[in-house]
């Protein structure tokens, strides 16, 4: 168990470093309206990792406990940031295919309202059970009561709904030959994220019949890290390709 825990933390650490590198590589995109959504999603992704993975979450969790007397609030914030990251992805891709009015309506119904409702229910479930009373270095491994099971089911439904909205746009954009390669990477990232969340949720409901805690942690981490790494790879490739287009040298005039 200890070995799996260390390996998982290392995997998430590498994912965090890759996210930070991609944010640095894309730092100019804060001034590019069409690229801000992707960069925002990676920033939220990195903050989500910090909130959930030792040793960062231990420091933040201790601070939150001193202020509120409750454990695991940093993990709740981390999952909220994860939903925000997915929402930024969905907004970015739908902004490429929808007009302004359609984008506003679709984003409100498929991202804003589900996120608000999901987070409200998750917070209520966390407060209702033993979630805020369990001091564990990794919230994933906290013992599950019926309220934490409801917490994970709500997170799964909310995240999957928003991811499905993003996937719809990615599939449309993937039909264009010029963007097929990068959209395929994004699509694999989205599906990998769904698998990671599904494994976590099924394990929470069926534990220990489905997967042992350490094995479930490893499987979910593999797909979760893969999703985030694929997303950063796609974002880095997309921006590099755009920069290459801007840096094309003009054809020299013939003598």
Provide the pLDDT for residue 254.
Answer: 41
Contact 46, 17 (CB under 8 A): no
Domain region containing 155: 8-242
**253 part of a folded domain:** no
Provide the pLDDT for residue 5.
Answer: 77
Provide the pLDDT for residue 32.
Answer: 82
Alpha-carbon gap, residue 139 to 213, rounded angstroms: 12
**60 part of a folded domain:** yes
**3 part of a folded domain:** no
**191 part of a folded domain:** yes
Provide the pLDDT for residue 246.
Answer: 62
What are the counts of helices (DSSP H) followed by strands (DSSP E) for the chain? Answer: 9, 0
Alpha-carbon gap, residue 57 to 144, rounded angstroms: 20
Question: Residue 57: is it exposed, middle or buried by C-beta count within 10 angstroms (0-12/13-18/19+)?
Answer: buried
Provide the pLDDT for residue 121.
Answer: 97
User: In angstroms, how far apart are the furthest CA atoms of the chain?
Assistant: 80
Q: How many domains does the chain have?
A: 1
Is the bond preceding residue 208 a cis peptide, omega within 30 degrees? yes
**249 part of a folded domain:** no
Cβ neighbours, 10 Å, residue 28: 11
Q: What's the CATH code of the domain at 84? A: 1.20.1070
Instruction: Write the CB contacts of 234 (distance below 8 Å, at least 6 apart in sequence).
Output: 182, 185, 186, 189
pLDDT tens for the chain, residues 1 to 255: 678 778 888 999 999 999 999 999 999 888 887 788 899 999 999 999 999 888 888 899 899 999 999 999 999 999 999 999 999 999 999 999 999 899 999 999 999 999 999 999 999 999 998 888 887 777 887 777 899 999 999 999 999 999 999 999 999 999 999 889 999 999 999 999 999 999 989 888 886 656 677 788 889 999 999 999 999 999 988 888 877 766 644 444 443
Provide the pLDDT for residue 247.
Answer: 60
């Amino acid at each position: 168990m200890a070995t799996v825990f260390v390996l998982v933390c290392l995997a998430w650490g590498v994912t965090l470093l890759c996210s930070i590198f991609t944010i640095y590589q894309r730092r100019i995109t804060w001034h590019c309206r069409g690229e801000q959504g992707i960069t925002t999603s990676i920033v939220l992704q990195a903050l989500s990792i910090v909130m959930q993975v030792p040793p960062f979450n231990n420091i933040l969790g201790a601070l939150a406990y001193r202020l509120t007397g409750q454990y695991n609030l940093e993990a709740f914030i981390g999952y909220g940031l994860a939903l925000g990251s997915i929402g930024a992805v969905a907004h970015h891709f739908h902004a490429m295919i929808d007009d302004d009015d359609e984008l506003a309506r679709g984003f409100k119904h498929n991202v804003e309202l589900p996120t608000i409702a999901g987070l409200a229910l998750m917070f209520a479930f966390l407060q209702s059970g033993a979630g805020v009373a369990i001091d564990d270095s990794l919230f994933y491994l906290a013992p599950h009561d019926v309220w934490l099971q409801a917490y994970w089911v709500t997170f799964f439904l909310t995240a999957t709904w928003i991811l499905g909205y993003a996937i719809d746009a990615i599939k449309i954009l993937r039909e264009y030959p010029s963007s097929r390669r990068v959209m395929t990477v994004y699509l694999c990232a989205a599906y990998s994220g769904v698998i990671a969340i599904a494994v976590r949720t099924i394990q929470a409901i069926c534990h220990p019949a489905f997967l042992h805690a350490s094995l479930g942690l490893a499987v979910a981490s593999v797909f979760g890290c893969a999703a985030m790494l694929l997303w950063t790879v796609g974002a880095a490739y997309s921006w590099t390709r755009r920069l290459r287009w801007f840096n094309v040298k003009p054809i020299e005039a013939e003598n």
